Structure 1
Amino acid sequence: MSITTRSKRRSRWLPRSLLTRNIVLLVALVALTQACSFAVLLHFVQRPRIDRAAIIFADYVKTLDGVLAAMPPDQGRAAAARLGAQTAAPEPDGVKAQRSLPRLFGTWQRDVFLRALQHHLPPDMPVRWQTGNGGDGERLWIRVHVAGAPSWIALPMTEDAQASGITTTLILSVGLALLAALTGYLIQLHINRPLKDLARAARHVSAGEAPVVLPTDGPTEIAQVSGAFNQMTEALQQAEATRALMLAGVSHDIRTPLTKLRLAMAMAIPRGADDTFVASAESYLDHIDTILQQFMDYAGSGEREPPQQGDLNALIGQLAADFAGLGHEFELSLGEVPGFAYRPVSLMRLLMNLMHNAIAYGRTGLAVRTWTEGDTACVAVCDRGSGIDAAEMEKLKTPFSRGTNARTHSGGTGLGLAIVERIARLHGGSLQFRAREGGGLEALVTLPLNRHSS
């Protein structure tokens, strides 16, 4: 068996939460400490105490035996009768002991006492322990000599031979273990709180939201992590500002000569010249402008646009009407979607890209469906095309990836679906592709309804 397999099997039994792991570890350590303390108590405190009690009790029994043996027969038998003596040996203990920790400790303590007591008594004075029925209690039977004949008498037991105080000790031990576990739980909660804040701030940053400055006044290790996170977010802000400045410069520096080139072509080419050449040149300029705009869209993707409360179905209806004006009819099946906060320009760009892809690659069976699942709004842009399957479309979410039929659509840069996924993630949602029932493809976008409104 490989090390990785063994590691996976071990981790399968471990709690997933760090809080639970630490509490389990703390409880296990407390339990081990209590067990060790209990063993030390039994061996070095309780056992010597029981041995001393057995020696004293043995001396008492031997004295009693000597007195009964020295008395006249009639007086000896009368004294033994007053002690409840009987000539027959007591019946063996047939009462089944209850299974409990205090009872187990009492049995151990009784056995130690009986062995020590038998060790200090003569061989002809055996002892027996009998557990009474019906609440008679426990009795210790010892064989003594009365008028030259053996008799069994029941003697009162010393407290050292019974499990006195063990229940209180066990309850106290369990209480201390629970107190230690509760203390560890509170400490772990205090440690976990900044970790949860860090995870929440990281999710906000990954979603494109403004980074949150974390406090650095906690424990040293947590403060170091929070400080490193704050440095990272500050560096990201600086990089974002540099990128915005660079994009603005690129847009200005490229679009300005493009505009001048259009103007120079209009002035240089005489009226009535080759219209094919003019149209081709204009097409190339439009192509350059489209590529530039796609790069700008991917780099921006709407992080700076504030969310606004809006109607998703109304936005889809508006886009469908615009595409209908261009000769592309989308069948709409719009379910009940409550208003929620989203970035309108970014979401419009997302829907336009998906609807444009459906037109370009699907051509037929164009449709848009909306519905809700719990706290999530779902939008599906569908077509009946057969050019690209769902698995290949998933790969096209990578920037600059283009499909096998991209040669027939040379106006793109391979950023369209990457822009769509980036906008979906910016809203806390996702983009998936799946085969459409009856043939074709379905692009599914899920958006949380309460992400920005809460």
Structure 2
Amino acid sequence: MRLRLPRSLLSRNIALLVALVALSQICSLAVLLHFVQRPRIERASIIFADYVKLLDTTLASMPPDEGRAAAARLETRNTAPPQAPAETHPSLIDFFRTWQRDVFVEALQRHLPPDLLVRWDASHDEAEPAADGEAAQERLWIRIHAAGEPIWVALPMTADARASGITTALILSAALALLAALTGYLLQRHLNRPLRKLARAARRVSAGETPPPLPTNGPTEIAQVSLAFNQMTDALKQAEATRALMLAGVSHDIRTPLTKLRLAIAMALPRGSNDALVASSESYLDQIDTILQQFMDYAGSGERETPQPGDLNALAGQLVADFAGLGHEFDFEEGQLPVFAFRPIAVMRLLMNLMQNAVNYGRTGLTIRTWRDGDTACVIVADRGNGIRAEELERLKSPFSRGANARTHSGGSGLGLAIVERIARLHGGSLTFRDREGGGLEAVVRLPLNRPPAGQNGAPHTPRA
């Protein structure tokens, strides 16, 4: 069976700390038993053996009548007591008690003459209840001699042979292990706090935000990580600003000669002289202008737009009406959605790109459906086209990626779905694809209802790829 380690750093550190404390306690207990408790029991057995030998000598030296009278005042028996049964499932406390008792009995027998036998008995509470309400106790039966006859005398177990103090030691060890676990938990929580801040900041960067700088006044290792993250965020911010400025400059510089070229074509080829050439030239110019606009849309994707409460159903219905005016009929299945905050222009661009893809590549069975799923607003744009292979779905969300069926549509640059993906992530949502029941494809967009879109605090943003 494969050992499964805890996944979180907190649980792993606590488990390691508890294991180390438990190992140290076990080693300490072994040292205590071998070097402290065993010598103590040995000394007690020597003293007890001297007492037993003195008692045996005294009773043996007395006249027979006096010896029997003295023995009668003790708890004696003529036959050997039964051996104590072995414990089948001893507890931890019973283990230490049994170990100390066995060590004591063995040492006592070594220090007594061979004819003075030792036997332990714990059946006193079962066969002969203690008188006057006294608690039952373990007893040692020792065979001595009185009036020339061997008799068995019951003597109480010495405290050194009992598990005295072991229970307290075990409880103390368990308390120390719990204290170590609690201390490790508090320390790890203190260490995890900046790590959680770092994770939240990384998610905000992934969503297109520019998070505030992380504090760098903690432990040295955490401070170094936070400082490196702040430097990375600043570098990304500068790189994105440079890229946005470059794209804006390129778009402006290219559109100026495009406008002049369009004007030159119109002046060089008067209407009616070569309409096919004029139409073809204007089509190419329109494609170049569309590609430039897609680059600008991808560079912006709505980061600087202020979120505001809006009705997603109304926005989708408006687009359905606009596409209907262009001859593309969408079935609109309107679900119950509350008013929530989003960037209307960015979300409109998101829906327009998905609807345009459905028109270009699906052509039939065009549908938009909205519904609420818990704290999420969901929108599906579906078609009945030939569909797309499952392995292509995620790839198409990357910039400049186009499907195999896009070769017949040369007016794009492969940024449409990348723009949709960025806008969805900017709102804390997601874009996924799935096969439509009955054939076709469904693009599913999920937008959180209760999460403010990134950048709502008014801080300026730079776009992110």
| TM norm structure 2 | 0.92
| SS state at 2:116 partner | coil
User: Could you tell me whether the CA contact under 8 Å between 2:248 and 2:296 is conserved in 1?
Assistant: no
Q: 2:433 — aligned with what?
A: 433
Identify which of 79, 92, 95 aligns with 2:70.
Answer: 79
Q: 1:303 — aligned with what?
A: 303
| SS state at 1:181 partner | helix
Instruction: Give 1:381 shift.
Output: 0.6
Identify which of 92, 96, 114 aligns with 1:105.
Answer: 96
Distance 2:82 2:49 in 1: 22
Q: 2:463 — aligned with what?
A: none
Instruction: Give 1:167 shift.
Output: 1.2
Distance 2:389 2:104 in 1: 84
Using the aligned pairs only, state the percent identity: 74
Structure 2 counterparts to residues 3-18 of structure 1, below 5 A? 9-10=2-3, 13-18=4-9
Instruction: Give 1:451 shift.
Output: 2.2
Write the letter of the residue equivalent to 2:203: R
Instruction: Give 1:257 shift.
Output: 1.5
Q: 2:51 — aligned with what?
A: 60
Instruction: Give 1:96 shift.
Output: 4.8
User: Could you tell me whether the CA contact under 8 Å between 2:79 and 2:152 is conserved in 1?
Assistant: yes
User: Could you tell me whether the CA contact under 8 Å between 2:323 and 2:329 is conserved in 1?
Assistant: yes
Distance 1:112 1:203 in 2: 64
Instruction: Give 1:57 shift.
Output: 0.5
| SS state at 1:423 partner | helix
Write the letter of the residue equivalent to 2:69: A
Distance 2:88 2:163 in 1: 14
Q: 2:452 — aligned with what?
A: 452
Q: 2:179 — aligned with what?
A: 179
User: Could you tell me whether the CA contact under 8 Å between 1:387 and 1:405 is conserved in 2?
Assistant: no
Identify which of 10, 29, 50 aligns with 1:38.
Answer: 29
Distance 2:403 2:185 in 1: 54
Distance 1:394 1:240 in 2: 24
User: Could you tell me whether the CA contact under 8 Å between 2:210 and 2:233 is conserved in 1?
Assistant: no
Distance 1:149 1:82 in 2: 16
Distance 1:97 1:72 in 2: 46
Distance 1:96 1:249 in 2: 89
Q: 2:241 — aligned with what?
A: 241
- Residues 215-269 of structure 1, C-alpha deviations (whole Å, 9 max, x = no match): 0111111111000000000111111211122122112211122222223333443
Instruction: Give 1:450 shift.
Output: 2.0
Q: 1:133 — aligned with what?
A: 125
Greater displacement, 152-161 / 133-142:
133-142
| SS state at 1:336 partner | coil
Q: 2:60 — aligned with what?
A: 69
User: Could you tell me whether the CA contact under 8 Å between 2:137 and 2:156 is conserved in 1?
Assistant: no
Distance 2:361 2:319 in 1: 18
Identify which of 100, 110, 114 aligns with 1:119.
Answer: 110
Does residue 352 (structure 1) correspond to residue 352 (structure 2)? The answer is yes
| SS state at 2:120 partner | strand
User: Could you tell me whether the CA contact under 8 Å between 2:63 and 2:147 is conserved in 1?
Assistant: yes
Q: CA RMSD in A?
A: 1.9
Distance 2:68 2:296 in 1: 116
Instruction: Give 1:435 shift.
Output: 1.6
Greater displacement, 443-452 / 106-115:
443-452
| SS state at 1:370 partner | strand
Distance 1:395 1:208 in 2: 20
User: Could you tell me whether the CA contact under 8 Å between 2:138 and 2:156 is conserved in 1?
Assistant: no
Instruction: Give 1:193 shift.
Output: 0.7
| SS state at 1:369 partner | strand
| SS state at 1:45 partner | helix
Gaps of 5+ in 2: 127-134, 457-465
Write the letter of the residue equivalent to 1:216: T
Distance 2:78 2:394 in 1: 96
User: Could you tell me whether the CA contact under 8 Å between 1:389 and 1:435 is conserved in 2?
Assistant: no
Distance 1:98 1:438 in 2: 66
Instruction: Give 1:152 shift.
Output: 0.6
- Residues 162-208 of structure 1, C-alpha deviations (whole Å, 9 max, x = no match): 11121111111111111111011100000011011100100000000
Structure 2 counterparts to residues 20-39 of structure 1, below 5 A? 20-39=11-30
User: Could you tell me whether the CA contact under 8 Å between 1:341 and 1:449 is conserved in 2?
Assistant: yes
Does residue 276 (structure 1) correspond to residue 268 (structure 2)? The answer is no
Distance 1:261 1:351 in 2: 33
Q: 2:411 — aligned with what?
A: 411
Distance 2:82 2:108 in 1: 20
Write the letter of the residue equivalent to 2:334: L
Write the letter of the residue equivalent to 2:363: R
| SS state at 1:133 partner | helix
User: Could you tell me whether the CA contact under 8 Å between 1:125 and 1:144 is conserved in 2?
Assistant: yes
| SS state at 2:328 partner | coil
- Residues 36-74 of structure 1, C-alpha deviations (whole Å, 9 max, x = no match): 000000001000000000000000110111000000000
- Residues 104-135 of structure 1, C-alpha deviations (whole Å, 9 max, x = no match): 10110000000100000000001111002245
Does residue 90 (structure 1) correspond to residue 57 (structure 2)? The answer is no
User: Could you tell me whether the CA contact under 8 Å between 2:14 and 2:181 is conserved in 1?
Assistant: yes
User: Could you tell me whether the CA contact under 8 Å between 2:387 and 2:435 is conserved in 1?
Assistant: no
Does residue 396 (structure 1) correspond to residue 387 (structure 2)? The answer is no
Distance 2:405 2:279 in 1: 25
Greater displacement, 167-176 / 416-425:
416-425
Q: 1:266 — aligned with what?
A: 266
Q: How many residues align?
A: 445
User: Could you tell me whether the CA contact under 8 Å between 1:95 and 1:133 is conserved in 2?
Assistant: no
Q: 2:219 — aligned with what?
A: 219
Structure 2 counterparts to residues 137-176 of structure 1, below 5 A? 137-176=137-176
Distance 1:256 1:348 in 2: 28
| SS state at 1:335 partner | coil
Instruction: Give 1:434 shift.
Output: 1.6
Q: 2:129 — aligned with what?
A: none
Q: 2:40 — aligned with what?
A: 49
Structure 1 residues 60 and 387: alpha-carbon distance in aligned structure 2, compared to 1, 3 A threshold: closer
| TM norm structure 1 | 0.94
